[in-house]
Amino acid sequence: MPKFLRPLSVLLAASLLLALPAFPATDQTLTFKIPPVKIPLNIKDQKIIIAASALITLRAKSQGLNILNLQLSADMSGLQQNLTEVLAAELDKNDQCGDRIAIQQATLVPAEPAALATVQLHYERYACAKAFGKQQTKRLVAGNAVMPLKLTPAVEQDNTQLRLIPEVGPIRADGSLGELLRSGSVGEMLQAKIHKAILNALQKGTDLSATLPPAAQTNVTLHRAEFRDGGSSQLIVFLAGEIRVTNDQIQALSKQVKDRIAAR
């Protein structure tokens, strides 16, 4: 190359470099590791801590739009350790003329990709009637029961939140209580309340706004949800999806992640 052309070629190369996006040369492997966030849950006077973390990787980019893969994991061992108290707060009742329910023990263990909740309870039903001017109480049924409930995670239709698909297992119960729980409204009520209490805790523990930095909270779409065994029956909720962000949001996300790590 003639000597007088060399400065021009250097200037041209510098101009091309300045025109490139503000990403590293290996931007296809751009990765953000969101450190664990402790999410406190207060459920009927029960304080539970859920630890959630995330991994975000760049999958594709086009015309200023970046598509990021999202993997979010939440450690639900806090819920497992306090499930008996959580369900007791939701289900225990002592009606003089009606149902009396006492949750004795509850467990929640992984059964990949689902989880299995097993609830042991004592149930009694009373009826009241007046006779000779006095109210009399009669016990109609009483006994102990074990209710297993398989919970399979899925994603809501709006692709932004976790849901659970319940499946009732064989109910073991004393005498006539078994028939009451298997075919009556009492069994359906208990199953619904168990399902709701666990789902509420899981949704709070996987709240994207509590785990992801602000720059990654917009345009999030979830595609998959499952339970995993973290070892020693530790229940992990895993969510997978994608995030669509602009170049400016990528830069903001990078700063926000660095700030979180520095603040630890």
The per-residue pLDDT for 45 is: 75
In tens, the pLDDT along 225-244 reads: 999 999 999 999 999 999 99
Number of other CB atoms surrounding residue 237 within 10 Å: 24
In tens, the pLDDT along 188-237 reads: 999 999 999 999 999 999 999 999 999 999 899 999 999 999 999 999 99
**Nearby residues of 186 by Cβ (< 8 Å), 6 or more positions away:** 99, 123, 125, 180
What SS3 state is found at 170?
coil
**Residue from 154, 174, 170, 172 nearest 162 by CA:** 154
Number of other CB atoms surrounding residue 56 within 10 Å: 23
Number of other CB atoms surrounding residue 156 within 10 Å: 12
The per-residue pLDDT for 231 is: 96
With bands split at pLDDT 50, 70 and 90, how would you rate the model's confidence at 28? Answer: low
Specify the DSSP element, H or E, that contains 222: strand 220-229
Buried b (16+ CB within 10 A) or exposed e, 125-135: bbeeeeeeeee
In tens, the pLDDT along 122-180 reads: 999 999 998 777 888 999 999 999 999 999 999 999 999 999 999 999 999 998 999 99
52 pLDDT more than 50: yes
**How much is the pTM?**
0.85
Specify the DSSP element, H or E, that contains 237: strand 235-246
Percent of the chain exceeding pLDDT 70 equals 89
SS3 string, 79-105, reads HHHHHHHHHHHHHCEECCCCEEEEEEE
The per-residue pLDDT for 264 is: 84
What's the full length of the chain, in residues?
264
Residue 122, strand partner residues:
102, 144
What SS3 state is found at 178?
helix
The per-residue pLDDT for 119 is: 98
End-to-end CA distance of the chain: 55
Cis peptide leading into residue 113 (ω within 30°): yes
Beta strand 93-94 with 172-173: parallel, antiparallel or unpaired? Answer: unpaired
Task: Give the range among 14-28, 94-108, 117-131, 135-149 with minimum mean pLDDT.
Answer: 14-28
Q: How big is the chain by its Cα radius of gyration, in Å?
A: 27
4 pLDDT more than 70: no
